[in-house]
Amino acid sequence: LPFDGESLVFVLGGPGSGKGTQCARIVETLGWAHLSTGDLLRDEVKKGSELGKQLEADMREGKMVPLSITMDLLKSAMESQRGKPGFLIDGFPRTMEQAELFEKSIGHCTFVLFFSCPNEILTQRLLKRGETSGRADDNLESIGKRLKTFEEMSLPVVQHFGKDGRVREVKAEGDVEDITRNTLKQFE
Ligand code: UP5
Ligand code: MG
């Protein structure tokens, strides 16, 4: 496997749970690489290609974009960051199929960092961000769909890794600083 023996941490949690926010802080402290599949997809959308238009439509509906696209983007982003002490894979895998393919073709997941947070708080955060983010999916209708997709497709991934003790859960409500402190403890 191309990333055999590397520290590979899946960062999972509902939409708006703070995956991006906390990953940026881990990077500052530990110097790990941060790969957000959502950000990689939005970069693709910005190019304005036909593919980008399709991806944006999927994201607005809170749907999963085709797996081959995410995998290719993720793999090449990881290659470009080789040598980092670890890799934070933010927002991936979101389905069991993605989880299985990653571990079969990229490397073994060291642990899952799981940010748990009630849906009402997630919704509030994303609506607030939507006032300025320009993200096509930060509106009430899309947020509802994203929450549903997360519960139906991604929570089973967290449960799967929980079976062999690979999930480290952090409560993601409240003060960002407190959450960072609890998050960094998971890396000791
Ligand atoms: N915020 C953060 N922490 C806070 C705190 N403690 N208190 C108050 N506010 C807090 O944070 C969200 C907002 O909350 C920000 O405004 C932040 O300041 C504030 P953020 O750190 O951005 O949370 P994050 O969990 O990263 O939220 P994000 O919106 O990125 O989560 P999603 O999982 O919904 O989005 P992602 O970009 O990963 O995916 C988007 C879409 O892409 C998916 O819905 C899907 O359609 C598609 N996709 C795929 O198909 N496949 C993939 O592999 C990946 C994505
Ligand atoms: Mg994010």
Question: The whole model's pTM is what?
Answer: 0.98
Domain architecture of the chain: domains with CATH? 8-185 (3.40.50.300)
Pocket perturbation via mutation, ligand 1, pick of 22, 27, 41 by most ligand atoms within 8 A of CB: 41
- CB within 8 A of 121, min separation 6: which ones? 16, 173
pLDDT, tens only, 51-91: 999 999 999 999 999 999 999 999 999 999 999 999 999 99
Residue 46, pLDDT score = 96
Q: Is the ipTM of this complex over 0.95?
A: yes
- CB within 8 A of 124, min separation 6: which ones? none
Q: Which ligand is nearest to the CA of 17?
A: 1
- Is ligand 1 within 6 A of the CB of residue 154? no
- Is ligand 1 within 6 A of the CB of residue 41? yes
pLDDT, tens only, 156-184: 999 999 999 999 999 999 999 999 999 99
- Is ligand 1 within 6 A of the CB of residue 92? yes
